[in-house]
Structure 1
Amino acid sequence: MDTASHLLFGVTLAGAACLHPQIAEHPQLFGAVLAATLIGSHAPDFDTVTRLRSYAAYLRHHRGLTHAVPAWFIWPLVIALPLSSLFHVWESWPIVALWTFIAVMFHVGLDWLNAYGVQAALPFTSKWLHKDVLCLFDPVLFGIHMAVLSSWLWLDRQGASSLFAAAYALTFLYILWRWGTCSRVLQQLRMQFPGALHHQLIPDLSLCRWQYVVETEDCYSTGWVIQASPLSMCTPLRFDFHARYEKSFSLNPIIERTLATDGVRAFHGFAERVVVHAQQWKDGYKVVWNDVRFWHRRGLPFGVEVELDEQLNVVKTKLGWSKKGWEPPYV
């Protein structure tokens, strides 16, 4: 999810930790746990530093090793041990490590529920895992935790802890509800396109709308699935077609020349539904690779553009998004 949400959850996790009397009654231990959950809730995203090198490096490493199985157990030790020493609660370092672990796992779990996905199963598999249940930013979850966080204005730590615990109970119930709703809509999408090879939903900020991508033998179809009300499981769904993208392309010398570029290699390591087209451009050619999963009304905003001269020498490469952050899809 987005950075603001991860940090907010880090604070509210510390509030829920105050259900443990030892944490609630000892300010220094509480301070260590609060620092640990704040850092732990964001630590997997420390890989964003790779963007300083290039977007291709960022695309290769973001949500990779720092989110993977070994990191689940390394982060708690790396974070909890120094904090326990700093806050002079060394004898309670297992408690600090436990809450750090919970923060890290909650971060990885939320990223797994997003459509962008996470390579959480490294080093066993490099496959991108995504359940397509939540947006990058979920206003309902953010609102729940922000509202509960304000309880600290008039309640002490131990008094507010039950509210934080209730917020997490509500969080998991909400995620289960979203998961169930998405599963039902996905089942209807499969019935709508029975002969397709693959069906995918990408959730919208609205609880009543999803983007869809359907893959057949020769093309990808995109559109919206719209539900009249989020509260009724029996509400009929409306399927609005948006666009169709042809899959088949031949690796002509122009397209084939781009496969050796760093940007295209990084793109292919992440993309799942790929289309490509080449055209004459200025004094040469332009080749554009896109991932159809992330479509927008204006086209396909995620991909890599490669400009070549007449001798097929690479002149310029541009990798990344061509949409505003507030525009769908929210991944």
Structure 2
Amino acid sequence: MDTGSHLVFGASLAGLACLDPSVGGSDSMFHAVLIGTLIGSHAPDFDSIVRFKGPKAYIRHHRGITHSVPALFLWPLLLSLPLAAIFGVLSSWSHLYGWIFTAVCFHVFLDLFNAYGVQCFRPFTAKWFHLDTLSIFDPFLFTMHAGGLLVWILSDVNAGEMFKSLFGVTFVYILLRFIHQRWIVYKVREHFGNTGNCHVIPSLHWFYFQFMVETEQQFKTGYVRYGRIIHKDTYTKGEENPMIQASIHTDGVRAFLHFAQRVHVMCLEHRDGYKVVWSDMRFWHNHKLPFGAEVELDRNLNVISDTLGWNKKSWEAPYV
């Protein structure tokens, strides 16, 4: 999810940690847990530093090794030892480690339910896993937890009990969203004859979705509004040609294929050469294909340039 949401959940976990006697009964331990869960809830996204190396490196590495199985245990270790020493709570180190571990795991858990996906089972597999249930920002979850934090700050409420209830609602909400999304997938597949791959991506609205259905020869895209399926566009799969083959070995396309799952490629001819456009059909929105790689070729099929990334504003759909 987005950085703000992860930080809010990290603070909420510190409130939940007040149920732990070793945390609720010690100011030093509480402060160590608060800082630990705030940092731990964002730690897997420290891989964002690769943005400085450009979008190709970012696509290759974001939500990869820093979200992997070993990282789930390594981040809490790296954070808990210095925090325990700084706050003088080495005797309760295992409790501090446990709460930071929970924050890190909850971060990866939320990313798993996003449409972008996460390589959370590395090193066992480099496959991208995504449950397409939550947008990168969920207004309901953010508002509920932010409101809980505000109540905690402004009153003498029992933080542990309150956040236990809020996290209970959170998991029930995610389960209901998951079931709803799977039902939408079933209805879309049924509408198009139960053939091919189908992806349904949520929006900020509970009852608005966008879908992509892949058949042997086509990609069909559209929206679902309050259960009503609206077919918008059909994209025909192109055939291999020398221009596509010339572009496939560029850094941008290789990074794109490392991540993309439903690939559409087209070749456009212009006066000075060709432009080959690679797109991930999962992220179709409003008659556009905002995520992909573009390769410019001259008439001799030499690569002039290649780019990779999102052709949309961060606040525009799809929210992944």
Same fold (TM over 0.5): yes
Number of the residue aligned with 1:233: none
Number of the residue aligned with 2:205: 206
How far did 1:191 drift? 1.4
Residue 230 of structure 2 is aligned to residue 244 of structure 1? no
Aligned equivalents of 1:279 and 1:223: distance in 2? Answer: 24
Aligned equivalents of 1:166 and 1:249: distance in 2? Answer: 54
Residue 261 of structure 2 is aligned to residue 259 of structure 1? no
User: Is the CA contact (8 Å cut-off) linking 1:286 and 1:305 kept in structure 2?
Assistant: yes
User: Is the CA contact (8 Å cut-off) linking 2:210 and 2:285 kept in structure 1?
Assistant: no
For residue 268 of structure 1, the aligned residue among 257, 273, 279 is: 257
2:296 counterpart letter in structure 1: E
Number of the residue aligned with 1:299: 288
Aligned equivalents of 1:286 and 1:248: distance in 2? Answer: 14
For residue 301 of structure 2, the aligned residue among 309, 312, 318 is: 312
Number of the residue aligned with 2:111: 111
Number of the residue aligned with 1:184: 183
- The runs of 5 or more residues in structure 2 that have no matched partner are none
Greater mean deviation of Cα atoms: 28-37 or 278-287: 278-287
How far did 1:179 drift? 1.0
Greater mean deviation of Cα atoms: 313-322 or 288-297: 313-322
Superposed, 1:127-138 pairs within 5 Å as 127-138=127-138
User: Is the CA contact (8 Å cut-off) linking 1:195 and 1:216 kept in structure 2?
Assistant: no
- The runs of 5 or more residues in structure 1 that have no matched partner are 228-236
Determine helix, strand or coil for the equivalent of 1:117.
coil
Aligned equivalents of 2:268 and 2:61: distance in 1? Answer: 31
Number of the residue aligned with 2:279: 290
User: Is the CA contact (8 Å cut-off) linking 1:215 and 1:221 kept in structure 2?
Assistant: yes
Aligned equivalents of 2:274 and 2:146: distance in 1? Answer: 50
How far did 1:310 drift? 2.3
How far did 1:75 drift? 1.0
User: Is the CA contact (8 Å cut-off) linking 1:67 and 1:118 kept in structure 2?
Assistant: yes
How far did 1:254 drift? 1.4
Q: 1:22 to 1:186 in 2, by over 3 A?
A: same
Please give the per-residue CA displacement for 1:20-75, whole angstroms capped at 9, x wherever unaligned: 12211211100110111011100000111111112111101100010011111111
Residue 195 of structure 2 is aligned to residue 196 of structure 1? yes
Determine helix, strand or coil for the equivalent of 2:12.
helix
Number of the residue aligned with 2:95: 95
How far did 1:282 drift? 4.6
Instruction: Give the share of equivalent positions with the same residue, in percent.
Output: 50
Aligned equivalents of 1:94 and 1:138: distance in 2? Answer: 32
Determine helix, strand or coil for the equivalent of 1:293.
helix
Aligned equivalents of 1:155 and 1:18: distance in 2? Answer: 15
What's the RMSD between the two structures over aligned residues? 1.2
Aligned equivalents of 2:74 and 2:280: distance in 1? Answer: 33
Aligned equivalents of 2:284 and 2:197: distance in 1? Answer: 16
Residue 59 of structure 2 is aligned to residue 70 of structure 1? no
Aligned equivalents of 2:309 and 2:198: distance in 1? Answer: 24
2:257 counterpart letter in structure 1: H
Number of the residue aligned with 1:160: 159
Aligned equivalents of 1:193 and 1:241: distance in 2? Answer: 10
Greater mean deviation of Cα atoms: 136-145 or 238-247: 238-247
How far did 1:298 drift? 4.0
How far did 1:153 drift? 2.5
Number of the residue aligned with 1:232: none
User: Is the CA contact (8 Å cut-off) linking 1:247 and 1:274 kept in structure 2?
Assistant: no
Q: When the two structures are aligned, how many residues end up with a matched partner?
A: 320
User: Is the CA contact (8 Å cut-off) linking 1:219 and 1:248 kept in structure 2?
Assistant: no
